Amino acid sequence: MDTPQAAPEVPSPDDATPAVLVLADGTVLRGLACGARGHVCGEVVFNTGMTGYQEVLTDPSYAGQLVTFTYPELGNTGVNGEDLEADHAHARGCILRQLAPRPSSWRCEQTLDQWLVRQGVVGIRGVDTRALVRHLREGGALNGAIASDGTDPATLLAQVRAAPSMDGLNLAAQVSTREPYSWNRSCSAAFDTRLQTRPDRPYRVVAIDFGIKRAILERLVAHGCAVTVLPADATLEQVLALEPEGVFLSNGPGDPAAVAEGIALAGDLLQQPQLPVFGICLGHQILGLALGGRSFKLGYGHRGLNHPCGSPGSVEITSQNHGFALDAASLPAERVEITHLNLNDRTVAALALRHQPVFGIQYHPEASPGPHDADHHFARFVALMAERR
């Protein structure tokens, strides 16, 4: 019989344990501890959203990263069980300016600090996050370490410099499900009033899990899909055995070029000319790589809720979270149409095949958090399947 484990001790809101953030370039920032006590290394990135800290920290796409939140105060609404994107936190660390000790929300079940402790996420508060973000924007994303257990900066710097770069890391294999499962829930919050469609016969969709968010699964179901989720190393034979009407390639962390099995599967799916395929974020990049394109690492990535993306005659304000992008010039123009561009830096925001029911988008139409402008892409996927019934 297993010995019951004691719940982790939650620090007092007035706790003043010192913490330190060390970057690979030798920069040292000092603050106070929050969350779990310990030390952790990862890629230091920043998210510019004004809300959604809970969704960000549980999004598998943040695996291996220390997330800097630019909004100056976190934890105002606490944490609840409905807004989780996975069963546990995937971000390794949390960097913030100020932590609200007493949240105010009718949905609150625990404070952010309590949740961080129980999730084992090491945090640092009291950091000048504006200065840190300027530093990352000028020098690019860097590996770093947070310590709240007394580990000295010199030791941390040595660990950070020995840590692998995000380039070449196949993190999708680490966060993917190990076993297939079905998903049939359309929304976690009862007050979600977005479109829901209930066809007499739901569309059979196989979703490949490279780090899939629950909100994506919920939006697929809300648009009339019955979803079976397969691991990141699924084969074409396993996919086709489920007789799908469409295949979805999910978001996920790490370097898309390192997800060799996913790229091979996408290439095989492209040999099924009548099968609709839809990719989001990492799934979109994997589609591009399977088509012969190249990906590259962005200087500091796109992470936030207000990124404008445009197609001829329209603009969508989008939620984004990615550190890599597709090289537009590398995509075969005779086969691929670039349908949307990021209007901040003109990187590829969406693509579609000219003669097959296949498309991918770099941003996140499920929002969670973020605007709902792009939700129509789920309806677009369903329409492709409906045309082929």
Contacts of 215 (CB under 8 A, 6+ apart): 55, 85, 366, 367, 368
Backbone angles phi, psi at 238, to 5 degrees: -65, -35
Contacts of 224 (CB under 8 A, 6+ apart): 197, 198, 199, 202, 203, 382
Cβ atoms of 158 and 205 within 8 Å: the answer is no
Residue type for position 2: D
Catalytic residue among 55, 85, 218, 366: 366
Residue 195 DSSP label = -
Identify the bridge partners of residue 123 per DSSP, sorted by sequence position: 34, 94
Catalytic residue among 34, 281, 284, 316: 281
Active-site residue flag, 364:
yes
Residue type for position 61: S
Catalytic residue among 135, 302, 364, 377: 364
Residue 176: closest CA among 60, 64, 62: 60
What residues are designated binding site for L-glutamine? 61, 252, 254, 282, 285, 321, 323-324
What residues are designated binding site? 61, 252, 254, 282, 285, 321, 323-324
3-state secondary structure (DSSP) of residue 57: helix
Cβ atoms of 382 and 224 within 8 Å: the answer is yes
H-assigned helices in the chain = 53-58, 112-119, 129-139, 153-162, 172-175, 214-222, 236-240, 260-269, 282-290, 376-387
Active-site residue flag, 281:
yes
Neighbours of 206 (CB within 10 A): 24
Cβ atoms of 82 and 110 within 8 Å: the answer is no
Give me the active site residues, please.
Answer: 281, 364, 366
